[in-house]
Structure formats: C-alpha cells, structure tokens
Amino acid sequence: MTKLTFILGCTACGKGAVGRALAQRVGGQIISVDSMKVYRHMDIGTAKPSAEARAQVPHHCIDLVEPGEGFSVAQYVEHADRAVAAVTDAGDVPLAVGGTSLYIKALSEGLFEAPSSDPNVRAALKARAAQDGPAALHAELTQVDPEAAGRIHPNDQRRIVRALEVHATTGRPITELQRQWGGGPRRYACVFLGLRRDKADLHRRINARAKRMAELGLRDEVAALLAKPDGLSMQAAQAVGYAEMISHLQGRCTLDEALERIKINTRRLAKKQRTWHRRWRDVVWFDVPPDEPPDRTAERMRPQVGRGLAPPG
C-alpha cells in the first residue's frame, strides 16, 4: 500500500514552510490539502506558496479551477489520488500538507456515503426555500443539527436542503452520521504528523499574517476577482479573508474593520480545526516553540516519515 504522510495543524501554524523543508530532506513533493488553494487567482488570501517556493519543491492540487466554479470533495480526492500516484511513480515521497479537515478525512478514509436522496422530501424542501428563503430553512437546521448549521452558510441552499433531507429521511443529524464515517481500512498507509503551537503564539501569527496579506494587496485581489465575468462561487466567496473583504468593497464595513474581522474569523477557524484534530487518535504531535525555524521542526519530524528518506545533506 502506498505510504502517504500528512502534515496537519491549525491555520497559520506554519505547515507550508515546514512541509517544504521536510520535502527537501526526504526527496518529497507536496500534495496540497486546502479547499481554497484549488482556486486560481486566489493567491494572497489563501497564503499560496510563492512561485519560488514551488520551483524548489513541486506542489500539486493548487490552481485547479477558476474561482467562479464550484469544487467538491470528490473532485479533490480524484486530483489528489492522481498526484500521489505521479509522485510515487517518480520515486519521490508524497507529503499531504494542509488543514482542510474534510479533505484530510476524505483522502485518508474515503468519501462519506450519505443516505440516498428522497425526491419527494427534497422537492418539498426546495419549494419551502423558494417561498420562505434559505434563511428560514437554515433556522430549522439550527434546531435539528446546530453543528451543521454552524458550518453551512445561511445562503447555501443546496447544503441546507441536503442536511434537512438527511434528517427527515433518517431521523438523525447528518453531523452524527458523518462522525461515524471511517473506521474501516485506510486508503493509504497513512502517517499523521501534527504541528501544534501555544494559543497566544498562534494568535500572534494569525494577526501578523492578516496584516501581511493587507500589505500584499488583498483588497485589490478581491476587487479584481469580483470584476471577473463569473465572479466568485459561493464556496470561494465564503473563504476567510475574502468574505470580509467583499463586505468592505460593498460598503458594509471599513477596511480596518474588515481586517479585524479576518483576524477574529481566522481564530474561530483555528478553534474548529482543533476540534477536528481531536478526532484523529494516531497523530504524532510536534509542539513548535515561537522561535523555532521551519528547518529545525522538519528535522525533528524527519524520522517519522519512514522509508524513502534522502541521505543527510
């Protein structure tokens, strides 16, 4: 079975830099596990690796689709599987680096097999959405599955309808069913390596990254995306950094307020990621001090990658 090493951790914890340093030590290539880096032209707000970084270490599953297009977990797994096969065929070590928990779970365990659709229930829910608006259905979802409601945007009618449909047909929240996902054979021989930082240090890094994105021109990047004929898909427009800047560009908040919201929402994202991480029992965690450079962290992680190590440089 193909060995696949995952490097996971909260947003802004330094996964990309450590992953590249580790790849250079083990003869590896990086498979991005990030639901927003799949979009072309969304560079600053997703903290994509620079052209220089990608020239040093090959990266896969980045810039796959236009920002106006939708992109599913199933599409991601298809692209990632091809990338893993290409990397291993080249004799290199695949390193799956990123923090999108659903992508990590799907790539390592397979896709969640939800109950079949019930056309009558779905039609009734769509009719109610057309009459009362998706927000009304989202309020109902909050009552039956508050966790799902918390992660689904009130305007995302497709996902709201699906979650309510599953509850109506099974009597159980879709969140509960998703928690039971997995537990069987892994799709790869998986090794999970996690980066963990002190909360105060992580918050400092989050704030610094938001400031850096603003200095690099996040506002102009989002304005250019909105000016495109196809604009941003609902999925892309909900990304942290983009949603807040869209609000600013539409006159709903000042630039300073948008940047502050980016910091707050990034911290909330990190909290959600920590919750997800607790579900994996076989992660080898590495506590990263504030002053430790990525090369040093990668050197500590290196023995866990296993066979395929490059000789010391």
My answer on whether 213 and 236 are in the same domain is yes
Give the pLDDT score at 170: 83
Say yes or no to pLDDT of 12 above 90. yes
**Look-up of token digits 């909900």:** 238
Residue 292 burial class via C-beta count within 10 angstroms: exposed 0-12, middle 13-18, buried 19 and up: middle
Q: Does 221 share its domain with 264?
A: yes
Asked whether residue 33 falls in the same domain as residue 103, the answer is yes
Do both 152 and 28 map to the same domain?
no
Region for 17 from its dihedrals, namely left if φ exceeds 0, alpha if ψ lies in -120 to 50, beta otherwise: alpha
The number of domains in the chain is 2
Q: CA 222, CA 41: separation in Å to the nearest integer?
A: 9
- Cα(45)–Cα(240) distance, rounded to whole angstroms? 8
- Smallest CA-to-CA distance from 222 within 11, 44, 39 is with 44
Q: Residue 163 sits in which domain range?
A: 119-179
Residues 79 and 185 in one domain: yes
Q: Which of 145, 160, 179 is a domain's end point? A: 179
CATH code: domain of residue 70: 3.40.50.300
Tell the burial category of 272 from Cβ atoms under 10 Å away from its Cβ (0-12, 13-18, 19+).
middle
State how far the alpha carbon of 49 is from the alpha carbons of 15, 161, 253, 303, in Å. Answer: 11, 36, 29, 25
For residue 304 the two structure tokens come to: 């866990």
Structure tokens at 19: 């992953």
| pLDDT tens by residue, 98-129 | 999 889 999 999 877 667 778 888 888 998 98
63 with 88: CB under 8 angstroms?
no
DSSP state of 16: H
- Per-residue pLDDT tens for 224-276? 999 999 999 988 998 999 999 999 999 999 999 999 999 999 999 999 999 88
Q: Is residue 90 part of a domain?
A: yes
| 241 against 159, higher pLDDT | 241
Predicted confidence band of residue 310 (pLDDT cuts 50, 70, 90): very low
Phi, psi of 274 (to 5 degrees): -60, -35
**Is 310 within a domain?**
no
Q: How many CB atoms lie within 10 A of CB 56?
A: 13
In a shared domain, residues 251 and 186? yes
Q: Quick one: tokens of 236?
A: 């892309």
Residue 32: inside a domain, yes or no? yes
Angle between helix 119-132 and helix 157-170 axes, rounded to 10 deg: 130
Any bridge partners for residue 5, and if so which?
95, 191
Closest CA to 296 of 108, 22, 47: 22
Do 51 and 105 belong to one domain?
Answer: yes
Let me know whether 202 and 175 are in one domain: no
Residues 237, 281, single domain; the answer is: yes
